[in-house]
């Protein structure tokens, strides 16, 4: 801990000028806090995601009477039945994502501001209960071989509890509560690295496990992980909101607090920066989730025709970017401002997506994964910059907005990419990934422009020194 950090930790933070009432002191710490919580949530989601897509592929193939390209030696790239299976799988993935996310938007906007009053722990427990119930529905569908449409019920239940987005919002708000401004970007990146570690482990386990035992047992593990995570939060996570007070959950005041966050002008162009950074995050997450949703379908079909082992390794390579981005972020922060670190992340992401869009062999596909080694450095920078624009008592409201932005991103991703992919199969199979690379040029321009406009002129810096 630096001298400045130590000073801030022991001195009470005074309120506005002229006020003698100290604000609640932050609990600065370097110890592990909610990182395991996000690890458990991501492990469960990463274990389910590729398996759900593969389950849809197999069930829909069986319904259509299609044996798959593997029985044909993976040589028939024009089989119309394969195109039908790809299209149906893409559309059902769209329906599952939309059903949970649309419901989750309203839940997150209530739970996030509510956590500013009652604390972060309740809003970290509730989503895990919903995620566990979702898996119960999925297991019933698999055991009874019900129509895949019944999977929608599980997604709606999870959405009512805030879904995975509420876990993200609660964890990032928690980190904002306990960190100071200089260290926040790296702590947010550490939290995001937990996403990568969990996703990488779950992807490798899921691919091999499905091949050996099918779908049922991996989903039971995901259920157990969600239950354990809720227990962990209840017993081991300390509350980060020091000035807790009772508050109703179902009230319009929570929505009003979000409106005040973005509707009222602030100092140094706060409102415009909030909008611009939120737009940048919207586009980044849209491309990230849109490409991620299509990866499994892209790898299952001709000409790659990967089996579950290779799909697991590919998903692990995708999640490995969280760790490599964390290491790169820590290194480049020594000589570059956060915004320029984010620009390097955009360059990595764009180049990787371009190569993936042209991949026709396994080595080229993994080359695309490799080029994206620094692609996840952008989101922690954006989250940190958003967090630094608001007050301590607004972190829950802010990250509920961020969660809603990400929810809208998921909706846009599934709507655009899952519709674009089947529509462009006949002239360029990887066009959706190329489209994502072009879209990323917009947030890259936004962050660069905000950074340049925020820099003080040289003469004003000399004036301050004098």
Read off the pLDDT of residues 400-440 as tens digits, 9 standing for 90 and up: 889 889 888 887 887 899 789 888 988 898 999 999 999 99
Q: How many residues does the chain have?
A: 466
Contacts of 90 (CB under 8 A, 6+ apart): 294, 297, 418, 419, 421, 422
Query: 38 to each of 171, 182, 425, how far by Cα in Å?
Result: 7, 22, 36
**Would you say 189 and 383 are in contact if contact means Cβ atoms under 8 Å apart?**
no
If pLDDT is split at 50, 70 and 90, which confidence band does 78 have? low
Dist CA 135 CA 171 (whole Å)? 22
- Does the model's pTM come out above 0.75? yes
Contacts of 11 (CB under 8 A, 6+ apart): none
**Would you say 446 and 279 are in contact if contact means Cβ atoms under 8 Å apart?**
yes
Of residues 394 and 188, more confidently modeled: 188
Share of the chain above pLDDT 90, in %: 38
pLDDT, residue 7, reads 38
If pLDDT is split at 50, 70 and 90, which confidence band does 106 have? confident
pLDDT, residue 456, reads 59
pLDDT, residue 252, reads 73
pLDDT digits (tens, 9 = 90+) for 38-55: 999 999 998 888 889 888
pLDDT, residue 143, reads 92
Q: What is the overall mean pLDDT for the chain?
A: 83
If pLDDT is split at 50, 70 and 90, which confidence band does 14 have? very low
**Would you say 123 and 162 are in contact if contact means Cβ atoms under 8 Å apart?**
yes
Q: Is 2 exposed, middle or buried (0-12, 13-18, 19+ CB in 10 A)?
A: exposed
Nearest 5 degrees, angle CA 162-CA 167-CA 172?
A: 130
Please confirm whether the linkage preceding 266 is cis (ω < 30° from 0). no
CA-nearest of 340, 361, 116 to 239 is 116
Please write down the long-range contacts of 79-86, taking CB distance under 8 Å and 24 or more positions apart.
79/302, 82/301, 82/302, 83/422, 83/425, 85/57, 85/60, 85/61, 86/297, 86/301, 86/421, 86/422, 86/425
If pLDDT is split at 50, 70 and 90, which confidence band does 68 have? low
Q: Which of 24-33, 177-186, 235-244, 361-370 has the lowest mean pLDDT?
A: 24-33
Dist CA 90 CA 84 (whole Å)? 10
Tokens standing for residue 243: 């000035």
For the chain, domains (ranges, CATH) are 32-69+77-237+261-456 (1.20.1250.20)
pLDDT, residue 51, reads 87
- Residues 388-403 have a mean pLDDT of 86
pLDDT digits (tens, 9 = 90+) for 205-250: 887 787 778 788 999 999 999 999 999 999 999 988 888 777 777 7
Q: Is 361 exposed, middle or buried (0-12, 13-18, 19+ CB in 10 A)?
A: exposed
- In angstroms and rounded to an integer, the radius of gyration of the C-alpha atoms of the chain is 23
pLDDT digits (tens, 9 = 90+) for 327-355: 999 899 888 889 999 999 999 999 999 99
Highest mean pLDDT among 91-100, 114-123, 367-376: 367-376
Dist CA 398 CA 202 (whole Å)? 30
Q: What backbone phi and psi angles, to 5 degrees, belong to 2? A: -75, 170
Tokens standing for residue 26: 């932050």
Dist CA 259 CA 343 (whole Å)? 30
């Amino acid at each position: 801990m630096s001298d400045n950090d130590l000073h801030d930790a022991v001195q009470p933070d005074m309120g506005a000028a002229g006020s003698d009432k100290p604000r609640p002191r932050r609990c600065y710490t370097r110890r592990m806090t909610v990182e395991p919580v996000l690890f458990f949530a991501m492990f469960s989601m990463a274990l389910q995601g590729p398996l759900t897509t593969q389950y849809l592929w197999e069930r829909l193939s069986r319904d259509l009477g299609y044996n798959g390209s593997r029985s044909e030696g993976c040589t028939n790239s024009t089989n119309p039945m394969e195109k039908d299976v790809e299209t149906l799988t893409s559309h059902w993935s769209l329906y599952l994502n939309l059903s949970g996310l649309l419901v989750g938007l309203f839940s997150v906007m209530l739970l996030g501001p509510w956590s500013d009053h009652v604390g972060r722990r309740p809003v970290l427990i509730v989503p895990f209960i919903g995620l566990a119930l979702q898996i119960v529905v999925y297991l019933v569908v698999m055991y009874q071989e019900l129509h895949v449409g019944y999977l929608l019920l599980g997604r709606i239940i999870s959405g009512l509890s805030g879904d995975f987005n509420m876990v993200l919002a609660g964890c990032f708000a928690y980190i904002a509560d306990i960190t100071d401004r200089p260290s926040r970007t790296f702590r947010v990146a550490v939290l995001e690295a937990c996403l990568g570690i969990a996703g990488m482990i779950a992807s490798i386990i899921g691919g091999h496990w499905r091949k050996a035992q099918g779908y049922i047992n991996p989903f039971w593990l995901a259920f157990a992980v969600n239950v354990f995570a809720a227990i962990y939060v209840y017993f081991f996570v300390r509350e980060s909101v020091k000035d807790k007070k009772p508050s109703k959950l179902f009230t319009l005041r929570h929505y009003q607090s979000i409106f005040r966050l973005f509707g009222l002008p602030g100092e140094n162009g706060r409102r415009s920066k909030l909008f611009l950074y939120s737009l940048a995050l919207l586009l980044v997450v849209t491309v990230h989730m849109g490409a991620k949703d299509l990866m499994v379908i892209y790898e299952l079909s001709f000409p790659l025709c990967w089996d579950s082992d290779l799909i697991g390794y590919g998903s692990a390579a995708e999640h490995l970017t969280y760790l490599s981005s964390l290491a790169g972020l820590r290194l480049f922060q020594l000589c570059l401002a956060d915004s320029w670190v984010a620009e390097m992340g955009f360059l990595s992401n764009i180049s990787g997506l371009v190569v993936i869009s042209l991949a026709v062999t396994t080595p080229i596909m993994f080359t695309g994964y490799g080029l994206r080694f620094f692609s996840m450095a952008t989101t922690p920078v954006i989250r940190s910059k958003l967090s630094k624009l608001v007050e301590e008592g607004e972190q829950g409201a802010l990250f509920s907005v961020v969660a809603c932005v990400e929810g809208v991103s998921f909706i846009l991703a599934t709507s655009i990419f899952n519709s674009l992919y089947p529509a462009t199969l006949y002239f360029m199979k990887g066009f959706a990934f190329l489209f994502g690379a072009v879209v990323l040029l917009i947030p890259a321009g936004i962050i660069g422009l905000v950074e340049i406009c925020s820099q003080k002129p040289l003469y004003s810096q000399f004036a301050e020194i004098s």
